[in-house]
A and B are shown apart, each in its own frame.
Chain A
Amino acid sequence: MLSRTASSLYWLGRYVERADFTARLVEATIRLDALSARPAGEAAWQSALSVTYNEEAFASTGDNLTQQNVAHFLMFDKDHPGSVLRCLEAARNNARVVRTALTREAWTAINRAWLLFSNRASPGGSSSTLNLVESVKAELRGFEGAIFRMMRNEAVWLTRLGGAIERADNTARLIDVKYHLLLPEGERVGGVVDRDQWTTILQTVSAVTAYRWLYSEGLKPDLVIDLLMSRPELPRSLAACVEESVDLLSQLGKRTGLQGEADRMARARLARISKTRSREVVVSGLHEYLQAFIRENAMLDQAIARQFRFV
């Protein structure tokens, strides 16, 4: 496989995941906004911006912090590289470059997702935004489905590896931001606002039902943290993403003979996370833990690029 192809597939996986995450974040935030009384709604959009590291970028547009503006910024803004539109554009460009490594189904799903945005300039009101998010999610699920029915070779594993690395990053930022920034001053932990916000987190990672299945004690922040950090059953948990990257790297290694630094880093991370108890992390400093995790994730990303000779 060409190095350029490998790199494009990996980034295709990352951008698809990023687009999906951002779209779901917008969806969950609309719900949170609808539930809260002003000015709590503003805080909801504020936190959506922090999760995607975009507070400054949004501030520089000079727009007010309203649903309309932030949803536009996160979904449609052509000048904002993290918008769903730009992520899909980047995913599509990468997919176009590696057309030959993808099946028709995989390519058309990406292309259709991108086409959803042509001839539209703004997300409109909540219901049309939600409809658009719904369509984006459906196309991207179609892409994932197509990926699982492709030949089982480097192309699939690299795309999924990109997805796993991106997902780990997104989940870590989601927990970090929500846990520290989200609770407005004066609100009681376990109060109504708090509860809505934890539901929002679960929704963003499609884990509301999973939570009910795994924990019988009702909605508790510590348990949400536990689910998102340590439960390998939840595909978007840190533990699951870490495990998935180890598996994918080992499949890639078996097929290409390329094993090295990235495998060692990923395996060491898996060993660490499987010994970590979320309760202890919360006590000793969740923010520091998550920041270290995000740094490690970036280092693994670099190691992957070196190992597979991305140019």
Chain B
Amino acid sequence: MGQKRAFDEIWGHGGIDDPRAEFAALSDWLRETPSGELERRLQAAESTFRQLGITFAVYGEQEASERIIPFDLVPRIFLADEWARLSEGLIQRVQAINAFIRDIYGQREILKAGILPPELIFQNDQFRTEVAGIRPPHGISAHICGIDLVRTGPDEFFVLEDNARTPSGVSYMLENREAMLRLCPELFREFRVAAVDSYPDMLHETMRSVAPPGRESKPLCVVLTPGHFNSAYYEHSFLADSMGVELVEPADLIVDDDIVWMRTIAGLERVDVIYRRVDDDFLDPLVFRPDSMLGVPGIMAAYRAGNVTLINAPGNGIADDKAIYSYMPEIVRFYTGHDAKLPNVETYRCREPEARKYVLDNMGELVVKLVDGSGGYGMLVGPASTKDEIAEFRKAVEAEPNRYIAQPTLALSTIPTLTEKGLAPRHVDFRPFVLTGGSGKPQVVPGGLTRVALREGSLVVNSSQGGGTKDSFVLMPDAQQSQSQNSAGESQSQSQG
């Protein structure tokens, strides 16, 4: 927020003329490409996104109810060794998340060991008694995790949030790369970038690997969407399409005798694995919200009977709840036996009197969040708020301290971004995607979703609040050249020439 200049991932603490040594080529490219040319390419990208219909719906707005998320051409780049360290941390964290969910709905060893206060689980809305005692195939519940990271320096990465329910955004990772390959091919000659386009295959393989017992040989996998008015519908259809599986709506499924079927032109076909993009609350009106029109009655019974695999498993919200988040370092240590390789952002739990006092005394410098809020709503960024806003939040925290946590305002890293006034640093965060299948070993796709706060100084990157996206390059270690996006592109042009 101006008091200290944030770390810029390309320029370091220098500037356009004195970038981090590894990124001199990118800085040169930015300097040498005429701004009109960058502008033209940006427009080409946005027009492609609009034609493809890569849009998200904004609820509550009648006109322009379909918007594209702004895209920025300047990529974020991870060095190979940075990425290797990050991956280790992500794998460890996702292993712990799966172990935690398995334990909480099973033996609850972590409570017996006194690591977590039991009321944090049992009084938590995200704890689903309906799934207690169910063991999903191979004991995996969080098949697809999106771990939100922020960075404050060359080696300082922090986990800001875990997403173990239905993390979205992976379609942007893939579409942004397609756009960059088309619009800035010269960057892929300069940098050897690991390919991300294997993600759909990895996802499909992950789905198949957790098929219900007895259905492993040729499981039928589908993606379940609430419907084409959902804000993430593009992503749902994109994923189904790129895996070559059916995209079903709730009305396409029926449950008979604890087996899930889909209605096809040839009659009913048995469904084995469902990547559902419908929230727990709406999944089954017989078990969760009875007024849900989006649900499939009986699907939970089929799940409990072990006849269908749900991805991600219901009840995962207990692992990515913001109140649980503050215990993640302890959770990681408990299940893996090691300290967390990726640290948390320091978190004050307002439920604890001492922390609460600190938060109330220092609200102007902290970020205060509702434990069950998301999308940038229910959140106070102290340094960017007015006295009245702070006073209002103070009242809310005093009334229901259990619902709030607070964190210091971090100097989030920036990346040069095209703005109306030319290139300027803008704050970013990062969501890599981690897949866990039947083997229990998480896989990290070399890439992810970089979100950028387009307003000067803003720290809020959510697309619903004026955020945009960038491509995220992961550079390959020197030894492996065969898989690079670059060489794949060249071999194609050779065969055409």
A residues within 8 Å of B by Cβ?
1-6, 93, 96-97, 99-100, 104, 107-108, 111-112, 115, 154, 256-258, 308-309, 311
Query: Across the two chains, which residue of chain B brings its CB closest to A8?
Result: B228
Query: Across the two chains, which residue of chain B brings its CB closest to A104?
Result: B52
Determine the chain A residues whose CB is within 8 A of the CB of B238 once the complex forms.
Answer: 99
Cβ distance B57 to chain A, nearest Cβ, rounded Å = 11
Q: Please state if A96 and B233 are interface contacts (CB–CB under 8 Å).
A: yes
Determine the chain A residues whose CB is within 8 A of the CB of B50 once the complex forms.
Answer: 115
Q: Please state if B265 and A99 are interface contacts (CB–CB under 8 Å).
A: no
Determine the chain A residues whose CB is within 8 A of the CB of B265 once the complex forms.
Answer: 1-3, 6, 154, 256, 258, 308-309
- Majority SS at the chain A contact face: helix
**What would 21 A/B residue contacts be, using CB atoms closer than 8 Å?**
A1-B264, A1-B265, A2-B246, A2-B248, A2-B263, A3-B252, A3-B263, A93-B228, A96-B237, A99-B247, A100-B246, A100-B247, A112-B51, A115-B51, A154-B265, A256-B265, A257-B266, A258-B265, A308-B265, A309-B264, A311-B263
Q: Please state if A256 and B237 are interface contacts (CB–CB under 8 Å).
A: no
Report if A2-B53 is in contact (Cβ < 8 Å); known contacts: A96-B233, A100-B241, A311-B251. Answer: no
Determine the chain A residues whose CB is within 8 A of the CB of B249 once the complex forms.
Answer: 4
- Majority SS at the chain B contact face: mixed
Q: Please state if A4 and B252 are interface contacts (CB–CB under 8 Å).
A: yes
Q: Please state if B252 and A2 are interface contacts (CB–CB under 8 Å).
A: yes
Cβ distance A93 to chain B, nearest Cβ, rounded Å = 7
Contact residues, B223-247 vs A (CB, 8 A): 228, 233, 237-238, 240-241, 245-247
Q: Can you list the 10 inter-chain pairs with the closest CB atoms, starting with the nearest?
A: A99-B237, A100-B241, A308-B265, A100-B240, A100-B247, A108-B51, A3-B263, A6-B265, A96-B228, A111-B53
CA distance A257 to B264 in the complex (A): 13
Determine the chain A residues whose CB is within 8 A of the CB of B240 once the complex forms.
Answer: 100
Determine the chain B residues whose CB is within 8 A of the CB of A108 once the complex forms.
Answer: 51-53
Query: Across the two chains, which residue of chain B brings its CB closest to A310?
Result: B265
Query: Across the two chains, which residue of chain B brings its CB closest to A110?
Result: B53
Report if A111-B241 is in contact (Cβ < 8 Å); known contacts: A1-B265, A2-B264, A258-B266. Answer: no
CA distance A115 to B49 in the complex (A): 13
Determine the chain B residues whose CB is within 8 A of the CB of A115 once the complex forms.
Answer: 50-51
Cβ distance A116 to chain B, nearest Cβ, rounded Å = 12
Query: Across the two chains, which residue of chain B brings its CB closest to A92?
Result: B53
**Chain A CB within 8 A of B91 CB:** no
**Chain A CB within 8 A of B299 CB:** no
Q: Please state if A309 and B263 are interface contacts (CB–CB under 8 Å).
A: yes
Cβ distance A89 to chain B, nearest Cβ, rounded Å = 12
Determine the chain A residues whose CB is within 8 A of the CB of B248 once the complex forms.
Answer: 2
**Chain A CB within 8 A of B262 CB:** yes
Query: Across the two chains, which residue of chain B brings its CB closest to A257?
Result: B266
Query: Across the two chains, which residue of chain A brings its CB closest to B269?
Result: A2
Cβ distance A281 to chain B, nearest Cβ, rounded Å = 36
CA distance A6 to B246 in the complex (A): 12
Determine the chain B residues whose CB is within 8 A of the CB of A107 once the complex forms.
Answer: 52-53
Interface centre among A2, A96, A112 (most CB of B within 10 A): A2
Determine the chain A residues whose CB is within 8 A of the CB of B53 once the complex forms.
Answer: 96, 107-108, 111
Determine the chain B residues whose CB is within 8 A of the CB of A256 once the complex forms.
Answer: 265-266
Q: A1-B246, A4-B263, A93-B228 are in contact. List 14 more A-B contacts (CB 8 A).
A: A2-B262, A2-B265, A4-B251, A5-B246, A96-B53, A100-B245, A100-B246, A100-B247, A104-B52, A108-B51, A108-B53, A258-B266, A309-B264, A309-B265
Q: Please state if B263 and A100 are interface contacts (CB–CB under 8 Å).
A: no
Report if A111-B264 is in contact (Cβ < 8 Å); known contacts: A2-B246, A96-B228, A100-B247. Answer: no
Cβ distance B51 to chain A, nearest Cβ, rounded Å = 5
Determine the chain A residues whose CB is within 8 A of the CB of B51 once the complex forms.
Answer: 108, 111-112, 115
Determine the chain A residues whose CB is within 8 A of the CB of B252 once the complex forms.
Answer: 2-4
Interface centre among B52, B263, B265 (most CB of A within 10 A): B265
Cβ distance A135 to chain B, nearest Cβ, rounded Å = 14
Cβ distance B365 to chain A, nearest Cβ, rounded Å = 45
CA distance A1 to B265 in the complex (A): 6
Cβ distance B15 to chain A, nearest Cβ, rounded Å = 40
Cβ distance A180 to chain B, nearest Cβ, rounded Å = 40
CA distance A93 to B229 in the complex (A): 10
Query: Across the two chains, which residue of chain B brings its CB closest to A114?
Result: B53
Cβ distance B110 to chain A, nearest Cβ, rounded Å = 41
Cβ distance B52 to chain A, nearest Cβ, rounded Å = 6
Query: Across the two chains, which residue of chain A brings its CB closest to B237?
Result: A99
Cβ distance B260 to chain A, nearest Cβ, rounded Å = 14
Cβ distance B263 to chain A, nearest Cβ, rounded Å = 5
Cβ distance A117 to chain B, nearest Cβ, rounded Å = 14
Contact residues, B247-291 vs A (CB, 8 A): 247-249, 251-252, 262-267
Query: Across the two chains, which residue of chain B brings its CB closest to A94?
Result: B228
Cβ distance A216 to chain B, nearest Cβ, rounded Å = 46
CA distance A114 to B266 in the complex (A): 32
Determine the chain A residues whose CB is within 8 A of the CB of B228 once the complex forms.
Answer: 93, 96-97
Query: Across the two chains, which residue of chain A brings its CB closest to B238?
Result: A99
Cβ distance A259 to chain B, nearest Cβ, rounded Å = 12
Query: Across the two chains, which residue of chain A brings its CB closest to B242?
Result: A100
CA distance A115 to B251 in the complex (A): 29
CA distance A115 to B46 in the complex (A): 14
Cβ distance B200 to chain A, nearest Cβ, rounded Å = 12
Query: Across the two chains, which residue of chain A brings its CB closest to B263?
Result: A3
Determine the chain A residues whose CB is within 8 A of the CB of B246 once the complex forms.
Answer: 1-2, 5, 100
Determine the chain A residues whose CB is within 8 A of the CB of B233 once the complex forms.
Answer: 96
Identify which of A3, A97, A111, A257 contacts B52 (C-beta below 8 A). Answer: A111
Query: Across the two chains, which residue of chain A brings its CB closest to B240?
Result: A100
Query: Across the two chains, which residue of chain B brings its CB closest to A307?
Result: B265
CA distance A2 to B220 in the complex (A): 13
Q: Please state if A99 and B241 are interface contacts (CB–CB under 8 Å).
A: yes
Query: Across the two chains, which residue of chain A brings its CB closest to B266?
Result: A256
Contact residues, B29-53 vs A (CB, 8 A): 50-53
Determine the chain B residues whose CB is within 8 A of the CB of A154 once the complex forms.
Answer: 265
Query: Across the two chains, which residue of chain B brings its CB closest to A6?
Result: B265
CA distance A3 to B251 in the complex (A): 11
Determine the chain B residues whose CB is within 8 A of the CB of A309 once the complex forms.
Answer: 263-265, 267
Query: Across the two chains, which residue of chain A brings its CB closest to B243?
Result: A100
Cβ distance A95 to chain B, nearest Cβ, rounded Å = 9
Query: Across the two chains, which residue of chain A brings its CB closest to B246?
Result: A2
Determine the chain A residues whose CB is within 8 A of the CB of B264 once the complex forms.
Answer: 1-3, 309
CA distance A115 to B267 in the complex (A): 37
Query: Across the two chains, which residue of chain B brings its CB closest to A308?
Result: B265
